[in-house]
Amino acid sequence: MKKINCIYSWAIFMLGIIFSCSYDDKSISIGEELPQIIIDTTGVSDGGERLYVVRDSILSIHPKIVYEGATDDDFEYEWRLGVELSSGNGTGDYIVLSTEKDLDWKVDIYATPAYQYYQLWFRVKHKETGVIAGVHWSLGVSVNVLKGFLVIDTDDDRTCDFTVIQDSMFNAMLCHWFTADGVGVPTKYDRNVYSKNHGYKFDGIIKNIFHQKLYKGTTLVDYMHGYSDNNRIFRMETSNFNIVAEGKDLFYDPSVELNIDNYLDFGPWSNVKGILINDGKLYRRENEESGAIDIRRFGNSQKQICRIPAQVCGNDDMVFFSEEDGKFYWTSVVDFNDEQAPRPCYTVSGALFDPNDMKGYKNVLAREYFLSEFRFILEKNGKYVFCTINQWQEPGLFFDLSDAPDIDKAISFEIATYNKIIFYATPDKVYAITYASDLQYHEFYDPVEPIQAIYLNRGSYDSSMANRHYSLFVNTYDGSEGKLHFMRFTPSGEIDYTYYYAAGIRVYDGFKKIVCIGGLF
């Protein structure tokens, strides 16, 4: 009986299979292989996985979708942008840029730091079969920053922003800044480039910033170097003002404690050196030539004989005045070792002053004349003096500036490089002192707005700049608007109204309170 039941059961099972196969099955069986979706983005990134775009530009990607028997309407599309920066290819949280096949997106996100990227995904899904395909790029975003002269300003005395000025006053020797009839091109401003790039202002008030090229591996890169009042020392790329290294990352000794007095550059042009005065100690940045080094760093500080002040000047040698000892010292920044630790300048019989007997004086300003002269303005009991040390570390000139008009109200000083001129500013006027023989004083400039500071146009050691060392900036602020007044001066300390390319006074306005200027880059 069990055998008969088994036969009937088997017959019924086979009959069911026959009937079940008697219609046209349009479904997909488990073993059937589906065709792949091919996404053709030829030419978008030259076949690479990284894509580089400029902020505020239009990123256009029009892919071609290939799938057997399908049209563009048979798919669902999604362009995803990862909102977290990474060095890998994960998306994490993302936003949807578009659900259309073609992407035409205005790049309104902030620029990416070095070696970090946003992740961009294009996702395609076939509506009927559910087949999914995708393409991925690591997206680098930069900012088209003008190349020009850098100005730093603030509106809260805690943070600051950057503006770049392009103008024929700075670039008068470069022919592309002039039309065929010799007329300078209109002034261009690229304002608030730091906050436009990062989404926030620079934290701190920058005290000094300068341009210098350094090797990054085997590539020579344009950098801005500087420090701020909250002990930030940094290196930025000029292409987008991204910080590539800051703080202790710029030192070989990670135990260094930052208490920055000054950070500046010394020439000559063939061997520019980054010099740091930190907590009264002298550091020199090592400019290694090894292609294996990406970040050039500061080595150990030089042996400390005395505390180094913020006001120093130099080139291959550095000279400074020690307020503690009342002495002038010099040291080599080429042979930078403990054997070259600062030593006193020489006392010379019959000289106008003794560089080792200057007790009570305070540093005001230090400037160098290339390799041959180091110039200082010192103050004692409200009286100012001007003195020099020559290339043999001996005393040179000495002038008492007490008779200069309104010098007791001075808030800022500058010393011309090639000409024998001292400039000083009171809150409402700029004066010039010439010292070719006897001292001569005269009023140089009288702006409408209150003066904040004056700066010699020192340019930068690594960029061509017209009027370098022959022109002066006057920084004014009326409580609501900052202005930068630019003028070339004559050897006699007058405003030059005859110079063909840059005659008279040019005023750059629309700033907040200006706190610092940088060189041309």
What pLDDT, in 10s, does the model give residues 23-49? 343 334 444 567 889 999 887 865 568
H helix or E strand, kind and range, residue 6: helix 2-20
Please state, in angstroms and as integers, the Cα–Cα distance from residue 404 to each residue in 58, 89, 407, following that order.
59, 66, 6
Would you say how long the chain is, in residues?
521
Residue 198 CB neighbours (<10 A): 17
Tell me the DSSP string of 456-496.
Answer: E---BTTB--TTTTSEEEEEEE-SS-EEEEEEEB-TTS-B-
Q: Per-residue pLDDT tens, the chain, 521 aa: give them.
A: 434 444 444 444 444 444 444 334 333 444 456 788 999 988 786 556 888 888 788 999 999 999 988 999 999 999 999 877 775 555 678 899 999 999 999 988 877 766 678 899 999 999 999 999 999 898 888 776 677 789 999 999 999 999 999 877 765 544 344 444 445 567 889 999 999 888 899 999 999 998 888 877 777 777 899 999 999 999 998 878 889 999 999 999 989 999 999 999 887 655 678 899 999 999 988 766 666 677 888 888 888 889 999 999 998 899 999 999 999 999 988 887 777 789 999 999 999 999 999 999 999 999 998 778 999 999 999 999 999 999 999 999 999 999 999 999 999 999 999 899 999 999 999 999 999 889 999 999 999 999 999 999 876 655 555 556 788 999 999 999 999 999 989 999 999 998 766 678 989 999 999 999 987 76
**Amino acid of residue 157:** D
Radius of gyration over alpha carbons of the chain, in Å?
34
User: Which residues, listed in sequence order, are joined to residue 471 by a DSSP beta bridge?
Assistant: 488
Residue 185 CB neighbours (<10 A): 13
H helix or E strand, kind and range, residue 388: strand 383-390
Tell me the domains of the chain and their CATH numbers.
38-142 (2.60.40.10), 146-195+405-521 (no CATH)
Contact 353, 387 (CB under 8 A): yes
